[in-house]
Amino acid sequence: MAANNDYRSYLRNPNDIEGGQPRFHHAQTSEPTYRPLLFGTLAVMGLLQVASSVAILLHLTGYLHEVDLSSVSHRPMEEVQTEPIIADALRNPRRGRRCKAQAKEGLPFAHLPIIYPIKNTNSKGHIAMIHWDQSEGSLERMNYHDGRLIVEKEGLYYIYAKTCFRYLETEQETPVNMSNLQLMQYISHEKHTSQNGTPVQLMKTGSTVHWDDTQYNMYCAQQGLATKLKEGDSLYVEVSNIRFLDPDTQGTYFGVMMLSNCEV
């Protein structure tokens, strides 16, 4: 009889089977377990994102307050301070000291054109110092005296000079042998604290030219160097054959500019 009932159950209508109790019950409990886990993960990720955004905002707010951009925007370009943006880059690695704060006047610099008429034109092939036109140049927190630029503030400076030589036979009272002419440029540094007062030659450049006496000839020498200078140090430019210097202010000039004011 029991076997007959089992057989009848096997022959039940398929609709009855679909409407009956499902054989596997774990499918009903999986969704309630998976959904809270998903929501919990999303909630944690959202909280972490909000926390990181708040931390970054607070950090940037404090940093911008330290830089004080509102005051920088109303100051000239040369007065914009490097602190604290690149303060670490300008720190002296040997002493670990920070750079000094710049005054409102800006960084020291000088640019002077050659003065005309040119002095020492009778030196011929000897070395002679060039004198510069202070009235036509620019000086900012630098001094000038007798051909020398004098440093007021200690720091790292960039020094540059350009000299042009030219020759035209019609401009000379007597013809000159230009077949083997040496044109040299020197930049020298006099240390204020030097015991013997001997200047140090920082740079030298030039060439031996072979010019045709009957044509217009020109030669220019240009050089630059970064070095540390102290208060009271002086710089000057010398050339050979100074009488051939071009008086054009765009061709012969001398200048210095401060790059940083880190302690030397």
Average confidence (pLDDT) over 204-223: 87
Last residue of a domain, one of 67, 101, 119: 67
Question: Is pLDDT at 87 greater than 50 in this prediction?
Answer: no
- Report the run of H or E that residue 240 belongs to, with start and end: strand 234-240
According to the model, what pLDDT value does residue 255 have?
Answer: 97
How far is the C-alpha of 190 from the C-alpha of 66, rounded, in Å? 40
Co-location of 229 and 151 in the same domain = yes
According to the model, what pLDDT value does residue 163 have?
Answer: 97
Q: Domain of residue 240: give its range.
A: 109-260
Look up the CATH number of the domain holding residue 152: 2.60.120.40
In three-state secondary structure terms, 238 is strand
185 band by pLDDT with thresholds 50, 70 and 90: very high
Co-location of 36 and 130 in the same domain = no
How far is the C-alpha of 250 from the C-alpha of 136, rounded, in Å? 12
Residue 106 contacts residue 118 (beta carbons within 8 Å): no
Co-location of 61 and 114 in the same domain = no
Asked if the structure places residue 104 within a domain, the reply is no
How far is the C-alpha of 97 from the C-alpha of 92, rounded, in Å? 6
Please report how many Cα atoms fall inside a 13 Å half-sphere around the Cα of residue 127, on the Cβ side: 10
Question: Mind giving me the DSSP string for 87-132?
Answer: TTTTS-TTT-PPPPPPPTT-S-EEEEEBPSSPS-GGGTTSEEE--B
pTM value is 0.60
| φ, ψ for residue 210, nearest 5 deg | -125, 95
CA distances, 99 to each of 77, 82, 95, 245 (Å): 19, 9, 11, 40
CA distances, 9 to each of 3, 17, 18, 21 (Å): 10, 10, 13, 14
| Amino acid letter, residue 57 | L
According to the model, what pLDDT value does residue 114 have?
Answer: 96
Total number of domains in the chain? 2
Question: Is pLDDT at 108 greater than 80 in this prediction?
Answer: yes
Tokens 């030589």 correspond to what residue?
165
How far is the C-alpha of 59 from the C-alpha of 115, rounded, in Å? 55
Co-location of 153 and 51 in the same domain = no
